[in-house]
Structure formats: C-alpha cells, structure tokens
C-alpha cells in the first residue's frame, strides 16, 4: 500500500480515483477492495501512513509467539483459547502484559510455528512426525539390504470351510524393489512363516528366483517372530546382519511399507473376496464375490 498510497491520494484529490484503481491495487496486494478503501481513509487522516507499510495498525510491532506462549501451548495441548485465558489471568495478576485478541493469537501461532510444531503440541510426537521430511537413502546395490515385514491381506479366503484373512510375510530388496521371498499363511504369522519366506528368498532356482541370494543386511521391526532364537540362528548361519529398528519408525523400512500399501491398491483390491477396510467404529463389509480357496 505504501507504494501506491501517495498516488491514490493524488487521484482522490483530483477527483479522478475510480473503483477500477482500487480493484487493481487490491488484486496486486491480494487483499479485498474494502481493505484498500480502509487504508486510503487512514492515509487521509495521517499522510505519513501513505509512506509507511500500511496503516498505523500495521506499523505497530506485531505480536510474536514468546517462550511463555510456547510453554502454555504445550501445557494446554495447542488449545489457543485456553492459552488466551491463562494469559488474561496472568495479566490480571500483574504478571504480564495484556494479551492480544484470540484471532491475533491464532495468526501469530500460524505464522511463527511450523505445521509440525502445531500438530505436535496438539497430538504429541506421533502427530508431529507426519509432517517430517525424511531423506532418501542411497540406492545401493543388489542384495545389499533387504527389508521384511508381516501384513494381513484384506482378502477373505476359504480355509476348510472357514473364511479367513491370510497373512503375508515377505522380503524385498531395497536397491531393486523386488520381492525376493514370500510366504502366505492362513493363520497368524509365526517363525515358521518367516523361515519359509527366507528360504524362498535365498534360493534362486525353480520355482524360486530369479531374484534372491544372500543379503548383507536385513531390516525388520521389533516383531517377536523375526527376533525369535530360531530365526536369529538362521541369520547367523547365513552370515546376515540384522538391523532391529526401534518401535514406531515405519519410515526406516519404507521399501517394505510401500510394498504393503501398493499390493493392496494394485492387486488385492481386484481379487475375489476383497474386503474394504472399515472406518473406525464400523463393521467390515462382506465381499460381494465368491472368496478364494486356500491351498496348502
């Protein structure tokens, strides 16, 4: 506004100012026409306002989030209204300045705090982690690193007359994005399913392969099946290093996590017996087609 204030005042003094001028300025500054008229009225009352960034209200020091406000946001889990009440009570006791209005406080928080910080204050570390940016790992080479995981398929299969959702255990190569080994079990996964998937991953001859071999390292989460003594002994015999990732860090084995999501959206959704994941609090829907038969 301060770039155009003097010119607008001159046009108004010459009675040549039109709505088109105001509309053009509003579009240039990405504000409403009413805001431009208000700025112009303020500039007429004080010509110095036309040479400064906006009106006097804009030239005042704007409210910024202080460490005190951050502490109150953490205490009240991001509740701005509760923070405003606490600041008002402290000001009434003479322990601080009069707080700004709630809209001003909202604007300051949105301006001074990153989205991840605001989410973390309201929902904790797990909510803040959704806004984090994770760097991509170097591609590496074939069989340098594998990742492994269990996933329950959203597909009903007939197992001896009982409809079940099978579990899939697989190993995938991080450099090639290839599924090196897989095992499908009708019941809950166990160390036997891990060993079966590992066997199919290590062997390269028919009916396995062509991907496979011996990896240098395998990443896994803290699943008890993967960390059982039997599976650990098998990795030791094969001279394979095991990287046990900390809890709640799925991004650190992103290759197999992406595989879990991709297989459902690109393959399982088209199979008979697919069951769409229900919303929280809702029952899962029954498949419209006939379910598959599980063969051992």
Q: What is the pLDDT of residues 71-84, one digit of tens each?
A: 999 999 999 999 99
Q: With the CA atoms of 136, 142, 144 and 149 taken in that order, what torsion angle do they form, in degrees rounded to the nearest 10?
A: 70
Could you tell me the two tokens for 233? Answer: 């002994």
For residue 228, the model assigns a pLDDT of: 92
| pLDDT attached to residue 150 | 93
Average pLDDT over residues 167-173: 95
Per-residue pLDDT, 219: 94
SS3 289: coil
What is the percent of the chain where pLDDT is above 70? 87
| Residue with token string 């003594």 | 229
**What value does the mean pLDDT take over residues 222-236?**
92
Rounded to 10 degrees, what is the CA torsion of 67, 71, 74, 79?
-90
Q: Quick check: 193 and 234 in contact, CB under 8 A?
A: no
Tell me, what's the pLDDT at 159? 87
- Tell me the average pLDDT across 12-19: 80
Q: How far apart are CA 176 and CA 95, in angstroms?
A: 62
Asked whether the beta carbons of 64 and 108 are under 8 A apart, the reply is yes
Predicted confidence (pLDDT) per residue in 250-288, tens digit = 888 889 999 999 998 899 888 888 887 666 666 666 665
CA nearest neighbour of 5 among 19, 15, 20, 21: 21
Candidates 220, 148, 157; CA nearest to 187 is: 157
The whole-number pLDDT of residue 17 equals 82
Is pLDDT at 58 greater than 50 in this prediction? no
What does the pLDDT read at residue 56? 42
- pLDDT given at position 55: 41
- Residue 217, classed as helix, strand or coil, is strand
Burial 6-27 (b: 16+ CB within 10 A, else e): eebbebeeeeebeeebbeebbe
| Contact assessment for residue 172 and residue 201, using Cβ atoms and an 8 Å cutoff | no
Q: Round to whole Å and give the CA distance between 86 and 72.
A: 8
For each of the domains in the chain, give its residue range(s) and CATH number, in order of start: 5-59 (no CATH), 67-129 (no CATH), 145-293 (3.30.420.10)
Q: List the one residue out of 51, 45, 62 whose CA is nearest residue 5.
A: 51
Neighbouring residues of 114: CB distance < 8 A, sequence distance ≥ 6: 131
pLDDT at 100 over 60: yes
Full 3-state SS string of 150-187:
EEECCECEEECCEEECCEEEEEEECCCCCEEEEEEECC
Token pair belonging to 184: 């499908």
pLDDT value at residue 57: 43
State the average pLDDT for the chain: 84
Q: What is the pLDDT of residue 230?
A: 93
pLDDT band at 86 (very low <50, low <70, confident <90, very high): very high
Contact indicator for 89, 82 with CB cutoff of 8 Å = no
Largest CA distance in the chain: 93
Between 47 and 13, where is the model more confident?
13
Question: What secondary structure letter does DSSP report for 267?
Answer: T
Mean pLDDT on 88-94? 90
What is the predicted pLDDT for the residue at 137? 77
For the segment 77-105, the average pLDDT, to the nearest whole number, is 89
């Amino acid at each position: 506004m301060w770039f155009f204030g003097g010119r607008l005042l001159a046009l108004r003094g010459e009675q040549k100012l039109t709505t088109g001028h105001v509309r053009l300025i509003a579009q240039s500054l990405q504000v409403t026409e009413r805001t431009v008229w208000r700025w112009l009225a303020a500039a007429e009352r004080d010509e110095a306002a036309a040479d400064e960034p906006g009106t006097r209200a804009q030239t005042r020091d704007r409210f910024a989030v202080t460490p005190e406000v951050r502490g109150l946001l953490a205490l009240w889990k991001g509740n701005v209204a509760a923070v405003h009440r606490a600041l008002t009570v402290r000001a009434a006791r003479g322990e601080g300045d009069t707080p700004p209005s709630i809209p001003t406080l909202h604007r300051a928080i949105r301006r001074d705090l990153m989205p991840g910080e605001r989410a973390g204050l309201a929902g904790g570390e797990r909510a803040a982690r959704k806004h984090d940016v994770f760097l991509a790992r170097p591609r590496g080479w074939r069989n340098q690193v594998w990742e492994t995981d269990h996933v329950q398929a959203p597909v009903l299969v007939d197992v001896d007359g009982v409809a079940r959702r099978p579990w899939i255990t697989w190993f995938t190569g991080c450099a090639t994005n290839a599924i090196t080994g897989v095992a499908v079990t009708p019941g809950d996964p166990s160390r036997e399913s891990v060993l079966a998937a590992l066997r199919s991953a290590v062997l390269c001859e028919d009916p396995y392969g062509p991907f496979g071999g011996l990896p240098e390292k395998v990443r896994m989460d803290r699943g008890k099946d993967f960390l059982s003594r039997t599976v650990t002994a098998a990795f030791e015999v094969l001279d394979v290093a095991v990287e046990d990732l900390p809890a709640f860090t799925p991004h650190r084995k992103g290759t197999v996590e992406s595989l879990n999501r991709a297989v459902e959206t690109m393959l399982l959704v088209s199979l008979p017996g697919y069951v769409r994941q229900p919303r929280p609090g809702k029952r899962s829907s029954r498949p419209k087609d006939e379910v598959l038969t599980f063969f051992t």
